[in-house]
């Protein structure tokens, strides 16, 4: 027995000390793997000419799954952004839902094929509809949280934006409001150090988004987005704080962007090769997988079981979504206004 194994044998695994069961962490791993594999499928389909456009979040999945984990999937709200694919899956959107959006089919629950892919929304699982201008969702989350507090519903609202989006006035205004009224909202910033091509040092004065929370009178925490368990720990704390009525928390997850901004971008044109390579070492799927292996949970058999499950789900969903009909042209005139129940 090595020293490390001996230590593991006597002290509880890190996830157990956080109150996560073995099943929890394996399920979290499954969602990260699912989101990643789905992401890859989206790109393949786009490159194969089956879809117009992809915008996704490879490298962001770990913090998204971790942050969603403490939430009540039925009761709480998610106000996502275009990289929130993993968060939306945990919240209750299906792989098929996301592929219906990619193919712009009539059944697409986010928009019926009206919006570009990646503009998530789902009334049944309380994911608010998303637009393309960045940062506008932050005040929406504040408003939802205000209504929750006034109506005493106990709902917690989580929203997310990239570090580029934090330059928007709306992001400041939303956090200022939420701080004043101590609202049950969690503000997430997924900082991958690039807003398309503009690097962090030209985006965030002072270098830290989390530091800005001090000015709003609530905690701001910076966490390594590859450390899924630490992301979970800070998210759970933020969630409990919101539930207690103590107000918002700003969580800045330092993540890697393992791909280009979107299918219309080539990051090799503005990022050094070595940097892109180095980012792979901070891939949450890999880092979290290594942890689960180290505690003996992710055996080769388990890994294969999860990979097979993911592959099967994505294949089935791809076929099913692809068979789903396109919207009728005349339907484009509908729902400018309410048309009756």
Partner 1 sequence: MPELRYIDAINQAHHEEFARDERVVVLGEDVGRKGGVFGATTGLLDKYGEGRVIDSPLAESSIAGVAIGMAANGLLPIAEFQFADFIHPAFNQIVSEAARMRYRSNNAFGCPVVFRTPYGGAHGTALYHSQSIEAFYAHVPGIKVVVPSTPADAKGLLKAAVRDPDPVMFLEHKRMYRIVKGDVPEGDHVVPIGPAVVRREGTDVSVFAYGWMLYEALGVAEQLAPDGISVEVVDVRTLVPLDKGTILKSVAKTSRALVIYEDNRFCGYGAEIAALIAEEAFYDLDAPVRRLAGPDVPGIPFSKPLEEWFFIDRAKIASAIRALAGL
- What is the number of alpha carbons within 13 Å of residue 268 lying toward its C-beta? 3
Of 33, 55, 63, 79, the residue at the interface with partner 1 (CB under 8 A) is: 79
Catalytic annotation on 291? no
Q: Which stretch binds partner 1 (CB under 8 A): 148-156, 246-254, 287-295, 301-309?
A: 148-156
Which DSSP category does 98 fall into? H
Cα(163)–Cα(193) distance, rounded to whole angstroms? 7
Residue 335, Ramachandran bin (φ over 0: left; ψ between -120 and 50: alpha; else beta): left
Write out the two tokens for 2: 């090595």
Of 39, 61, 76, 108, the residue at the interface with partner 1 (CB under 8 A) is: 108
Looking at the Cβ atoms of 144 and 314, the one nearer to partner 1 is 144
Asked whether position 166 contacts partner 1 by CB under 8 A, the answer is no
Please identify which of the residues 212, 254, 257, 282 carries the catalytic annotation: 257
Q: How far is the CB of 81 from partner 1 (least distance, A)?
A: 14
Looking at the Cβ atoms of 122 and 241, the one nearer to partner 1 is 122
Q: How far is the CB of 148 from partner 1 (least distance, A)?
A: 6
Of 14, 50, 114, 182, the residue at the interface with partner 1 (CB under 8 A) is: 114
Cα(44)–Cα(283) distance, rounded to whole angstroms? 20
Distances (CA, A) of 120 to 74, 83, 309: 17, 9, 24
Asked whether position 325 contacts partner 1 by CB under 8 A, the answer is no
Of 59, 101, 109, 247, the residue at the interface with partner 1 (CB under 8 A) is: 109
Please identify which of the residues 14, 146, 181, 270 carries the catalytic annotation: 270
Catalytic annotation on 261? yes
Looking at the Cβ atoms of 272 and 340, the one nearer to partner 1 is 340
Q: Between vectors from CA 147 to CA 145 and to CA 151, what angle results, nearest 5°?
A: 120
Cα(190)–Cα(83) distance, rounded to whole angstroms? 9
Cα(63)–Cα(228) distance, rounded to whole angstroms? 6
Of 57, 80, 121, 219, the residue at the interface with partner 1 (CB under 8 A) is: 121
Looking at the Cβ atoms of 274 and 339, the one nearer to partner 1 is 339
Of 37, 42, 65, 141, the residue at the interface with partner 1 (CB under 8 A) is: 141
Pairing relationship of beta strands 198-199 and 194-195 according to DSSP bridges: antiparallel
Write out the two tokens for 311: 């592959």
Looking at the Cβ atoms of 128 and 234, the one nearer to partner 1 is 128
Cα(154)–Cα(20) distance, rounded to whole angstroms? 23
Looking at the Cβ atoms of 133 and 296, the one nearer to partner 1 is 133
Asked whether position 247 contacts partner 1 by CB under 8 A, the answer is no
Cα(229)–Cα(224) distance, rounded to whole angstroms? 10
Distances (CA, A) of 203 to 134, 200, 209: 14, 5, 10
Distances (CA, A) of 176 to 140, 183, 191: 13, 11, 20
Asked whether position 337 contacts partner 1 by CB under 8 A, the answer is yes
Please identify which of the residues 83, 261, 282, 291 carries the catalytic annotation: 261
Q: How far is the CB of 166 from partner 1 (least distance, A)?
A: 15
Q: Which residues are catalytic?
A: 257, 261, 270
């Amino acid at each position: 027995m090595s020293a490390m194994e001996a230590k593991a044998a006597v002290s509880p695994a890190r996830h157990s000390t956080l109150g996560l069961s073995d099943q929890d962490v394996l399920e979290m791993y499954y969602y990260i793997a699912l989101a990643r594999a789905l992401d890859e499928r989206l790109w393949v389909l786009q490159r194969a000419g089956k879809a117009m456009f992809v915008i996704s979040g490879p490298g962001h999945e770990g913090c998204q799954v971790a942050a969603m984990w403490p939430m009540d999937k039925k009761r709480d709200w998610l106000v996502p952004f275009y990289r929130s694919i993993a968060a939306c899956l945990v919240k209750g959107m299906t792989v098929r839902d996301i592929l219906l959006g990619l193919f712009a089919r009539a059944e697409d629950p986010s928009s019926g094929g009206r919006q570009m892919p990646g503009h998530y929304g789902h009334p049944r699982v309380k994911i608010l509809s998303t637009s393309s201008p960045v940062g506008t969702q932050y005040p929406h989350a504040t408003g939802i949280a205000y209504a929750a507090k006034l109506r005493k519903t106990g709902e917690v609202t989580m929203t997310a934006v990239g570090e580029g989006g934090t330059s928007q006035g709306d992001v400041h205004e939303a956090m200022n409001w939420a701080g004043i009224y101590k609202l049950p909202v969690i503000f997430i910033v997924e900082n991958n150090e690039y807003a398309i091509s503009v690097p962090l040092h030209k985006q965030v004065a002072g270098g830290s988004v989390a530091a800005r929370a001090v000015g709003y009178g609530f905690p701001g925490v910076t966490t390594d987005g590859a450390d899924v368990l630490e992301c979970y720990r800070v998210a759970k704390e933020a969630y409990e704080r919101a539930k207690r009525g103590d107000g918002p928390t700003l969580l800045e997850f330092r993540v890697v962007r393992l791909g280009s901004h979107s299918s219309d971008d080539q990051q090799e044109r503005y990022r050094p090769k070595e940097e892109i390579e180095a980012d792979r070492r901070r891939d949450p799927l890999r880092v979290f997988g290594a942890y689960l292996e180290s505690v003996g949970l992710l055996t080769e058999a388990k890994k294969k079981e999860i990979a097979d499950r993911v592959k099967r789900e994505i294949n089935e969903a791809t076929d099913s979504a692809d068979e789903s009909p396109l919207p009728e042209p005349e339907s484009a005139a509908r729902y400018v206004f309410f048309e009756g129940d």
